[in-house]
């Protein structure tokens, strides 16, 4: 029972991370196509500035929960996916540094360097997270010792790339909606127009990914065994349609929240299909790591559950306060503050 509870929490932590940091990653990816001048770039930076580091707390939490609750899965996952995860780490580092360093020198060349770092540090994680999770859904070629049979190119299968494209579209639409919430004038209009266009692309890719998953993965086995799970993709599709409806009504906050639900639903589509597997092997199902054969002791899981029930609401409360505090649009007055990016 505790293993199942922690499997759900594990999936939830990843879903919350993708939901929150997704708009940061998406907006950083879109900045070269959205911003026309330095002022608009600064608006984009300050639209993300109060939130991005708090959002990444969920990545640390998801990784920490994997390490503590499912140490064997953590060990094999982080060794098998070592190269892509290391690339993601370096990309997130240069992304974080770009926020702090961009305004240190009043030079167009200097700002261009850090704007490029923001783009790379946003696009690369969005793509590679999608590639990694798609490969997990399909199965990773590792043996009984947890040794990967292949390299990073082994992960760049058509299905893996499809997962990467799906994540990039999810996050960029999410980011376009966020700038539509936070900006005024022409930047708002461009963000809104881009969100509408990305929605169409996302709809087509998501539909193709669902069909592709039927042939490339065993995810649907659980859905046929437990028909109630079909509520997950149904709710996800409804939230995606609701996102477009709220765009049409120009309810940008509502559209952004509907996009949040779309990302959570997309994540849980894969998580529900995986169960009880956490890191399946494509070489032999007997090598697969599950919520049961890779979990920590019951005592550890009990202690961690108590800690999670106490601390996670505190983190959620803090982030709700931050989002409420900085809910207003970014204006020229905000850019004039010394603390502004």
* pLDDT per position as a tens digit, 164-200: 999 999 999 999 999 999 999 999 999 999 999 999 9
Domain range summary for the chain, segments of one domain joined by +: 2-335
For all residues of the chain together, what is the average pLDDT?
92
Q: Say how far residue 228 (Cα) sits from the centre of its chain.
A: 25
Query: What local confidence, expressed as pLDDT, does residue 104 receive?
Result: 86
Q: Which comes out higher in pLDDT, residue 19 or 150?
A: 19
Query: What local confidence, expressed as pLDDT, does residue 19 receive?
Result: 95
Query: What local confidence, expressed as pLDDT, does residue 152 receive?
Result: 79
């Amino acid at each position: 029972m505790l293993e199942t509870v922690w499997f759900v929490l594990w999936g939830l932590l990843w879903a919350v991370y993708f939901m929150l940091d997704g708009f940061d990653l998406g907006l950083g990816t879109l900045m070269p196509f959205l911003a026309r001048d330095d002022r608009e770039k600064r608006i984009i930076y300050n639209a993300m500035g109060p939130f991005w580091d708090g959002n990444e707390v969920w990545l640390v939490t998801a990784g920490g929960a994997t390490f503590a609750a499912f140490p064997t899965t953590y060990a094999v996952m982080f060794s098998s996916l070592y190269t892509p995860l290391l690339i993601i780490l370096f990309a997130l580092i240069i992304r974080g540094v770009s926020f702090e360093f961009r305004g240190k020198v009043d030079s167009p060349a200097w700002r261009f360097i850090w704007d490029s770092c923001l783009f790379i540090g946003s696009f690369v994680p969005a793509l590679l997270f999608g590639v990694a999770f798609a490969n997990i859904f399909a199965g990773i070629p590792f043996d009984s010792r947890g040794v990967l049979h292949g390299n990073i190119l082994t992960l760049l299968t058509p299905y893996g790339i499809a997962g990467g494209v799906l994540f990039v579209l999810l996050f960029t639409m999410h980011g376009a909606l966020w700038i539509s919430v936070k900006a005024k004038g022409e930047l708002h209009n461009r963000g809104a127009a881009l969100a509408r266009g990305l929605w169409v692309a996302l709809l087509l890719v998501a539909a193709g990914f669902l069909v592709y998953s039927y042939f490339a993965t065993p995810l649907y086995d659980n859905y046929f065994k437990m028909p109630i799970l079909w509520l997950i993709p149904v709710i996800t599709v409804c939230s995606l349609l609701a996102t477009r409806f709220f765009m049409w009504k120009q309810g940008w906050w509502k559209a952004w929240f509907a996009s949040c639900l779309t990302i959570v639903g997309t994540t849980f589509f894969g998580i529900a299909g995986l169960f009880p597997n956490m890191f399946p092997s494509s070489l032999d199902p007997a090598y697969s790591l599950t919520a049961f054969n890779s979990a920590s002791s019951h005592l550890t899981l009990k202690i961690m559950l108590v800690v999670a029930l106490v601390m996670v609401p505190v983190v959620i409360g803090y982030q709700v306060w931050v989002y409420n505090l900085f809910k207003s649009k970014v204006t020229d007055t905000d850019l004039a503050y010394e603390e502004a990016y």
